[in-house]
């Protein structure tokens, strides 16, 4: 697996809004994630209810993840990586960043929903220790996955 030297993951800022919206639009065409318009990304970044992390190389955003705080847990809403940068571990680095963030916040769990047809994402989350909680036939089928925080401490080291 090719790695990107100099990749950093950090909380997204207002100057990242346009690139995140642009990447969201690009990846949404694949039918896997929701498209977030520039105005929506701007609102989410400004809200304390949401946490957006961006994976950057120099100033270029190669991936992002959008999450929200819910019931003492961190709910991952969307994760996207540029098509030509996939398979380099960017998604894994982003999710590990979210797990660290949840630990810092004292949250109980990190959870997400993944479309059944999105095998790479299912492999990513289960490879990080997420467990299956539910399966729904809505929206063509999706899995609910969760990771208790006490178990995730092992992943961060």
pLDDT of residue 31: 83
Q: CA 113, CA 155: separation in Å to the nearest integer?
A: 20
Greatest alpha-carbon span in the chain: 41
| Single pTM value for the model | 0.89
Per-residue pLDDT of the chain (157 residues; tens, 9 = 90+): 677 788 999 999 999 999 999 999 999 998 888 899 999 999 999 999 999 999 999 999 999 999 999 999 999 999 999 999 999 999 999 999 999 999 999 999 999 999 888 899 999 999 999 999 888 876 678 888 899 986 554 554 4
Fold (CATH) for 7-110:
Aminopeptidase (3.40.630)
Query: How many CA atoms, within 13 angstroms, populate the side-chain half-sphere of residue 151?
Result: 10
pLDDT of residue 157: 45
> Domain ranges in the chain?
7-110
Backbone angles phi, psi at 21, to 5 degrees: -65, -40
pLDDT of residue 154: 53
């Amino acid at each position: 697996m090719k790695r990107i030297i100099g990749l950093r993951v950090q909380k997204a800022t207002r100057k990242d809004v346009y690139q995140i919206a642009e990447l969201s639009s690009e990846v949404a065409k694949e039918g896997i994630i929701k498209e977030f318009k520039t105005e929506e990304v701007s609102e989410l970044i400004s809200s304390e209810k949401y946490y957006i992390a961006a994976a950057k190389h120099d100033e270029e955003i190669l991936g992002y993840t959008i999450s929200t705080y819910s019931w003492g847990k961190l709910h991952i809403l969307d994760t996207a990586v540029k098509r030509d940068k996939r398979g380099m571990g960017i998604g894994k680095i982003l999710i590990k960043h979210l797990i660290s963030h949840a630990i810092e916040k004292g949250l109980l769990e990190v959870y997400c929903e993944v479309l059944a047809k999105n095998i790479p994402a299912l492999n990513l989350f289960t490879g990080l220790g997420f467990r299956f909680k539910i399966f729904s036939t809505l929206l063509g089928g999706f899995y609910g996955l969760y990771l208790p925080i006490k178990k995730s401490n092992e992943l961060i080291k």
